Structure 1
Amino acid sequence: MKYLTRTIWVLSFISLLTDVAGEMLYPVMPIYLRSIGFSVLLIGILEGIAEATAGLSKGYFGKLSDQRGRRAPFIQLGYTLSALSKPIMAVFVYPLWIFLARTADRLGKGIRTGARDALLSDEATPATKGRVFGFHRSMDTLGAVIGPALALVYLYLYPNEYRTLFFIAFVPGLLAIGLSFYLKDKKREQKENKTPVSFFSFLHYWKHSPAIYRRVVTGLLVFTLFNSSDVFLLLKIKQAGLSDAATIGVYIFYNLIYALAAFPLGILADSIGLKKIFIAGLFLFVLVYAGMAFTGSIYYYGFLFLLYGAYAAATEGISKAWISNITDKADTATAIGTYTGFQSICTMLASTVTGWLWLRFGAGLAFGTTAVVTFGVLLYFWLSIDAPTSHQSPEK
């Protein structure tokens, strides 16, 4: 596995540690927020605003990273901000402070994502993008197995003591910060354009981007517009009567499947095509959300989350590998940042709409609507988007 360079390993371990911190809190977050007075609708708005902040900043900082020809400083700053936001949510429990802390956490993600993914892309060849991004996703998601497992053990020993977890989560975040300083930038030429980068300047990339990029991203964004935060999946199984421990256990199981499958599916995607694996992932997503419209036992939800883990493994890293293969290397951070910027705006709308649909009509209609729309997106990719080759050049 010579294609897994030192930089890829360092980035992957940083992501693992950060996910240990973040995912230790993620399955507890909706329970904690409800315990301090947040409604389902307010949780949806909180998650939507937080993700929109991450998305818009991904585009801006991605563009800035490309213009300056630097990756490491953005990665270091982003992971630092996310780590520092964790204890704030435990110290200040008023809604405004929760909104600010959660937004700061997502801003850190926005600062680092474009630069990090561009650095991963720089370390790979077009023929190994699937496996490189897949390996990173596997390591990243392994942290999402360890984090909730630690939370599960802690809550078993100290039931309902949610706030202390936010302080515990600060420790792996600090380790990630330290590890990020082992990253070194490759020598890259800065772009000659010295024009200051405005916050929304990355939007201009859409007009000049390759046609295939616009077609692929359009399909991805329609899907995202109806793909709300995973918080709603956790709320669904919690309302079905599962205990806190069972809810976290199902989430750990999902992340374990995701972590185990992402790297092998990345290798498979390099062999048979990124598009085929991505469409297969969308089909699994349709099955999961259609299934979530009904109520079942812990085994029923366990099966759905098994499929959900396979879906995530087949789409998350694959979509970024696909985008990096159909855009100019010099614009990788901008291309991924532009996509994730629009994606997070759509996620904001999706989470808010899902929260409203759930509150007004119930969970069945909310999940069923997402399943129907996603099936339409699946057909769009199948019938309208050409399968990318390993050495596909950007089409203007």
Structure 2
Amino acid sequence: MKRIPPSRKLRQAFEETLQGYETELHPLDVFVKLGARYMLQVALEQEVEDFLGRAHYQRGQRRCQGWRNGYESGKVTIAEGFLEIALPRVRETEEPFHSRLSPLLKEGSDALGRLVKEMYVRGLSTRDVEGMFIEALGQQILSRSGVSRITSRLQKDFDSWRKRDLSQLKVVYLFLDAVYLALRQGTKEKEGVLCAYGILENGKKVLLHLALGGRESYDSWLSFLHDMIARGLNEPLLVISDKNKALRRVAREVFPHAFKQPCLAHKMRNILCKLPKKAQKEMKPLVHRMFYAGSYEEGLKRGQELIARFKGNYTSAMECLEEDLKECLTYLRFPEAHWRAIRTTNMLERTFGEGKRRTKVIPRFPTESSGLRLLYASLITASRSWHGVKMTPDIWWELEILRKEAFGEQSLIIEREAAVV
């Protein structure tokens, strides 16, 4: 029976993390350790492949005599702690195999720790990785073709997440937002990074998609949503989004039956910015009282009274409120236990804050993929700490009533699965 190389086992574990399978919570340091361990193992196995001139279990003509002979356990120290690795062994070679990488792993190296983390998170080019091996170890350890194979694996890891099947994720609430980051070398221009996460029928929250979106154009958002639909995303019951007009237009076209909820935090800022500074202090608690009413009917009543009272003096602000007043209060029609979770996209913005903080450490990226990969690493890790929402039989029943209103008699019955609180 063939032995599976340790790197394949690590990659399988890592891909399960990337695809959102059930795992323990992973703070960023643990997440990076997993990626670092995987990349180190790949480098060690690639060193043996370069020495023997053939891949694992590859048959055919051999460049030199010798066989792989299992592994011995080893550890390497980086800033985040110890990494367990498997050191490859070979036998029956014309010349003894001496790994130039393993002695440095045993001693530990700050430069080496930076090397493996940046290899994974940044997705450097072949030339970048070659230079970092020399910087960290004082010499080139792997062949250029070996380094090239490592860098190609980095892209595959990220792509596997972006292309994964979404048909098994029954999304009830879909959140859409964007963040602007300076991603490319040679320019100060910031680009929109589009992001989507969902709350599923079992109450879990999951990061769904991440992509460049230019200036958040209609076409960018349309392509973004069509990508998820092509991978099996169902039409959600409620779409929560920011103020972007192109996004809201696309959401109505792509998800015509779903309820729509503008982010109330964005809406509050839009209203207040249309008021004189002195009036903002008076208006904010009044709008807040209307947005956070105890029921949809009460919120609508307060909103209409507010508009009638102030439209003469603050026309622009009240027109901003009036244009989508009913949609702003949509969340109040949903189960009260979910109100806090579905009235804003604040969780995405807080998560984006972590991504922004990390991208500032590396102000520009060699490629757009490397910038996306760093933001992705931050977001997927932060998503591990997201708390789910409560799902009970009563809540399921409320959602089913709304689902039938939105989708008619052809609606799907919500699955009665175990809830995650």
TM-score (norm. length: structure 2): 0.24
Higher RCO structure (Cα 8 Å, ≥6 apart): 1
Q: Which has the higher strand share?
A: 2
Which structure: larger Rg? 2
Q: Which has the higher helix share?
A: 1
TM-score (norm. length: structure 1): 0.25
